[in-house]
Amino acid sequence: MRILLGSIAGVAAVAGTVAFVQAQKPPVLATDILASEIQAVVNAPTGGGDRLIKAVDIGDYNQGVGVLRRGPTKPGAPVGAIMHEHITEVYYVVSGSGTLLTGGTVVGAKPAPADSEIVKVAVGPSMQGTFEKPAQRRKVGQGDMVIIPPGVYHGFDEVTTGIEYVSVRTDPKHVLPAGYVSPVLKK
C-alpha cells in the first residue's frame, strides 16, 4: 500500500508536468484520494475494468484519477485497441504485467457508444477497434509508468494473470465530469 500511495503521488506529479497549464481560475483547495478510497473502488464487484475514482476541475483543464484492471489475454487472439480523443493518460502499473501496444494501424475502428460509461464518465469520446500492426510493443510491469497522449491507440496483450494500474487523466477539453466521485465512495 505504501508503494501504491507513493506511486500515485509520483503519477500525479508527472501528469501535472505533462499538462503544465496556467489555470485562469485556480482551485482554492486540494483534492485527496485516500488509499482506502482507491482500494474500495478496486475491490468493488461492479463497474467494469475502467473505473474513475474522482474528477476535478482545476481551471483550464480537468484532472481525473481512475483504476483499471485487465484480465488475462488469450494467446493469438486479436488485441483490442482504444484511443481517447481528448484525454492524456499516465499509467502507473500497480500489479501484474503484460505487453502494452500503442500507435500503429487499427482496423474496424468505431466510436465508443456516446451513452456508455467509458464515454460519459471514464475518458470521454473514444474510438475502439483491433490492432492490425502496432507501432510499439513493450513489456510493462509493477512500478512502470507510461504516458499515452490523446489520439494514440493502446491495448494490452500477453497478460498472463491480470494487470492493475492507476491512470491519471489530463483533460484540457473538460469532457470528464468535474466533481465526479465514484458511487462506491458515496455509500
Structural domains for the chain: 2-186 (2.60.120.10)
Cα separation of 71 and 152, whole Å? Answer: 22
Distance of CA 51 to the CA centre of its chain: 8
The pLDDT of 143-148, averaged and rounded, is 98
Cβ contact 150:61 at 8 Å: no
CB atoms within 10 A of CB 183: 13
Helix 35-43 to helix 2-18 angle (10° resolution) is 100
Q: Which amino acid is at 22?
A: Q
Interval 14-47: pLDDT, tens: 555 444 444 456 678 899 999 999 989 988 886 5
pLDDT of 135 strictly over 70: yes
* Structure confidence at residue 29 (pLDDT): 85
pLDDT of 187 strictly over 80: no
Least confident of 1-5, 100-104, 157-161: 1-5
The length of the chain is 187
pTM for this entry: 0.84
Cα separation of 27 and 136, whole Å? Answer: 37
The pLDDT of 96-107, averaged and rounded, is 98
